[in-house]
Amino acid sequence: MSAALPLPIAQAPVPGAARRSRRVLPGFHLTLGYTIFYLSLIVLIPLTALVFKTFSLSWDAFWMAVTSPRVLASYRLTFGASLLAAVVNLFFGLLVAWVLVRYEFPGKKIMDALVDLPFALPTAVAGISLTALLAGNGWIGQFFEPYGIQLAFTPKGVVIALIFIGLPFVVRTVQPVLADAEKELEEAAMCLGATRWQTFARVILPSILPALLTGFALAFARAIGEYGSVIFIAGNMPMVSEITPLIIIGKLEQYDYAGATAVALVMLMLSFSMLLIINGLQAWQRQRSGAR
């Protein structure tokens, strides 16, 4: 009789082998490498070039470039108008998102599509349209002109233009969070005797506050760097209605590249600091909500 063949020995499964075999996307190291390469190519290298170009100036020349009276006036207008526009969008963006989520009415889809219009509309077209509407002989400006209120070619026009281009950021950030909010919690609060304001302040607002801060940060950051829609309606009067991006463009046209990068570096540092503060507030709010 022939000898019995040995039975195959069952091999123990290798830890993580099944998980690796089910992977669809590349591994962590490869994707991390591509991520760092892409961010370096698109973000880090241009910003590094900006910093090194600014270093070609001496400290006295740098300080004179970024603190001249004309540049300081543009800082005040750019950051002040951007902050005011973001605050206005914070309130009205929440209102628009609330209406789109909580109510049904004729023309809702059209209104929902109009929210994205500032995304699709070229900024130059937006600036020309707003100027035509808000000028002294425009459809809207003609009603304010007899009272001595001039909207176009003043800082007021800058704020209005920044509100126009920043509204979608707040609406589109808050809208999905508001749609996913649990209405049972609102009903429970009202059954316990809470008023509508108490229900909003203590139940709804804490859940959408991180999204509100995110929309505010996006609208604020977008407004700081806006150029196309503002350049037509601002009037570009030095010390009055001249924004910082226009200062940078003017220096570039004068071949003052170092001065332009110096002003751009200051804007970059201020913008990054404000966004960092807002992100810190968001993280603190999430930790506070998780602790509850």
Q: List the single range of 34-48, 94-108, 129-143, 273-287 with lowest mean pLDDT.
A: 273-287
Confidence check: pLDDT of 288 > 60: yes
Give me the pLDDT at residue 180, please. Answer: 85
Give the tens place of pLDDT for each residue, 189-207.
Answer: 778 777 888 888 888 888 8
In which band, very low, low, confident or very high, does the pLDDT at 228 lie, cut at 50, 70 and 90?
Answer: confident
Averaged pLDDT, 217-238: 88
Q: Identify the residue with better confidence: 140 or 31.
A: 140
Averaged pLDDT, 276-286: 76
Give me the pLDDT at residue 4, please. Answer: 52
Q: What percent of the chain has pLDDT over 90?
A: 30
Over the chain, what is the mean pLDDT?
Answer: 84
Give the tens place of pLDDT for each residue, 144-193.
Answer: 988 888 888 899 999 999 999 999 999 999 999 888 877 777 778 778 77
Domains and CATH numbers, the chain: 64-291 (1.10.3720.10)
Give me the pLDDT at residue 6, please. Answer: 53
Confidence check: pLDDT of 1 > 50: no
Give me the pLDDT at residue 163, please. Answer: 95
Averaged pLDDT, 56-78: 91
Give the tens place of pLDDT for each residue, 22-53.
Answer: 566 667 778 888 888 888 888 888 888 888 88
Q: Write down the residue that tokens 């304001």 correspond to.
A: 197
Confidence check: pLDDT of 120 > 70: yes
Q: List the single range of 10-24, 49-63, 88-102, 237-251 with lowest mean pLDDT.
A: 10-24
Give me the pLDDT at residue 31, please. Answer: 81
